[in-house]
Amino acid sequence: MKITSSVSLLAIGAVLLAGTAQADKWSDQFPHIKNSGDIPGQCSYEAMSEKDYSGQKLTINTHAVPVMGEPTALHAEQFSALTGAEVKVIHTPAGDLYSKAMIPFQAGQTPYDIVFGFSNFLRDWKQYLQPIPAKYVNMKQMKDVTQGHIDVNSWGGEMIQFPIDGDRHYLKYRRDVIDNPEYKAKYKAETGNELRIPQTWKEYAEMAEFFNGWDWDNDGELEYGSAEVMKKDDLMYAAFFSRSVAYSKNPRVKGGFFFDLETMEPLINGPGFVAALTDWVEATKYVPPGGMNFGLGDEINSFGGGQTLFSYSWDDAFVAAMQDDSPIKNKVGAAPLPGSDRVWNRLSGAWEDTYNQAPYIVWGWTAAVAKESKNHDMAFDYLCFFANDANHQADIAIGRFGVNPFRKSDFLPEIYIKNQGWEPEIAQQYSETLLKMEEGSSNLVFPLRVPGVFQFNSAVATGTAKALAGQLSPQEALDEVAVEWKKIVKRIGADTIREAYAIGVALEDAE
């Protein structure tokens, strides 16, 4: 143990020294990359400084500040300083990103050279986007991207979106509570169960209820069980799917998680999804006051601010909790999403009483160049610069930026220890959790990427919101969603949706 620790420390020291050695003229001019300095590459600061885009204008539509909007603007400013380009950044709320680009796309207009959005927009946007040129696809920077995120940004084998972010849902928990011997004893005495990282949603609920509504970290404030995205139309559908995968994604059943690929019948009201929604309705009892109205930002602030024991969904809450200004820095842990003690088999029509866990790869932010843009070279250079090694290392250290790991090198714990001051054990656990989701599971679930995806997700949000509000039972709510999904399939066409859905199913079934 001692030898291992010494070796680890030596390794960390070496990395730190290497980082210091990398400081250069660019980090003096651009403090954002002060930890790493410029890192040589096709789109490094040095390389960009040799380009001349003076007199040319680049227009970018991105998300509101800070998530993704702040790094977009920051890198636009840097890009402008390096190349002489005029870069105009327009910030748009998340809910309007799709339509703000789609309306001009459909009208044959090109107000934006670059559009930021979610990777599940791809099926609807792809005909309006310029595929990534081979010189970027084959560059060293891109070779570092995991295969899963290459797939995320590609359609039919062609890369269309530029990888800038990687997302998955996983569990975040308070280590100072779950590993606390006093609380372990108290929990055991009062419930008869072990206090540990929850392995199932049932354990998650029991622990969350136990630690709900009292001051367990002695900061003078009440703490609660769980922070979750429950606000209607604010990505709540993704939170619901996170809770559903354990009950519904059976590794022995191929051919679709959301639909039966053969018949295109929705599976959304099956017993697995209903069990998950039933759990979720129960969860309203152990969220903070007003937790039913939490959007993603609220979830990040709630867990990141130390208000709850658990949280799940995107990386941001974890990164926010581990920032220097966080009251719970180095007090949190990362683990795979909880599983369940049973999983629904839709082929046999029965529950299988076996432990099941399934990672939910939510993909994430992405950006692409408009096909009709007259500035393709400059636009791709901007995106390449945005995601260059130095910027990427600096960006993933800032929780509010919304840039999360998607490269093989991102899963090395040393970078979090060196650049962000994380405790080695936490960095190791975080890296392992994320890497296992990417490469270690054979039961992955990918989100829908089909035409009209927003109609499907909106129907889920409305149905689940009604169940959470007590307007409908979980079964009634999901039956309503299934009816709505059938109508959408009928309107758009079963074959059209099947063709797109098959691409996602092939990724899931190939694992």
What single DSSP character describes residue 245? H
Q: How far apart are CA 427 and CA 372, in angstroms?
A: 43
Question: Cα–Cα distance between 309 and 389 in angstroms, integer?
Answer: 34
State the nearest-atom distance from the C-beta of 161 to other proteins, in Å. 17
Q: Judged by CB under 8 A, which of 5, 20, 99, 263 binds other proteins?
A: 99
- CA separation for the pair 483, 496 (Å, rounded): 19
Single residue of 205, 207, 468, 481 touching other proteins by CB under 8 A: 468
* Residue 20 binds to other proteins (criterion: CB under 8 A): no
Site map (CB under 8 A) of other proteins, residues 301-340, x = contact: -x----x---------------------------------
**The only residue of 42, 345, 455, 475 in contact with other proteins, by rule CB under 8 A:** 455
Q: Binding segment for other proteins among 291-299, 358-366, 369-377, 418-426 (CB under 8 A)?
A: 291-299
Segments of 95-190 assigned E as strands: 114-118, 129-130, 154-155, 158-159, 162-163, 170-174
Q: Name 51's Cβ contacts closer than 8 Å, sequence gap at least 6.
A: 82, 83, 381
Interface region with other proteins, contact rule CB under 8 A, candidates 284-292, 396-404, 409-417, 425-433? 284-292
In whole angstroms, the minimum distance from the beta carbon of 100 to other proteins comes to 9
**Distances in whole angstroms, Cα of residue 353 to Cα of each of 24, 340, 350:** 59, 9, 10
Q: Closer CB to other proteins, residue 209 or residue 432?
A: 209
CB of 115 to other proteins, least distance (A): 14
> Does residue 110 bind other proteins (CB under 8 A)?
no
User: Is residue 451 at the binding interface for other proteins, with CB under 8 A as the rule?
Assistant: yes
Q: Return the residue of 19, 452, 474, 504 that touches other proteins, per CB under 8 A.
A: 452
CB 433, CB 333: distance < 8 Å:
no
Report the 10 Å Cβ neighbour count for 61: 24
Q: What part of residues 228-247 is at the interface with other proteins (CB under 8 A)?
A: 231-234
Count residues near other proteins (CB under 8 A): 37
Beta strand segments in 57-179, E = 57-63, 86-92, 114-118, 129-130, 154-155, 158-159, 162-163, 170-174
Give the nearest distance from C-beta 458 to other proteins in angstroms: 5
CB closer to other proteins, 124 vs 151: 124
CA 68 to chain centre: 12
Is 496 among the residues that bind other proteins (CB under 8 A)? yes
405 binds other proteins (CB under 8 A): no
470 binds other proteins (CB under 8 A): yes
Q: Looking at beta carbons only, is 390 or 460 nearer to other proteins?
A: 460
Give the number of other CB atoms < 10 A from CB of residue 25: 12
Distances (CA, A) of 247 to 10, 204, 286, 382, 465: 44, 14, 21, 42, 20
Kindly tell me which of 94 and 417 has the beta carbon lying closer to other proteins. 94
Q: Find the part of the chain contacting other proteins (CB under 8 A) among 14-22, 98-106, 169-177, 384-392.
A: 98-106
Q: Which residue has the tokens 């570092």?
A: 144
- Specify the 3-state DSSP secondary structure of 247: helix
Residues in CB range of 425: below 8 A, 6 or more apart: none
Residues that bind other proteins (CB under 8 A): 95-96, 98-99, 102, 106, 124, 231-234, 288-293, 302, 307, 451-452, 454-455, 458, 462, 465-472, 487, 491-492, 496
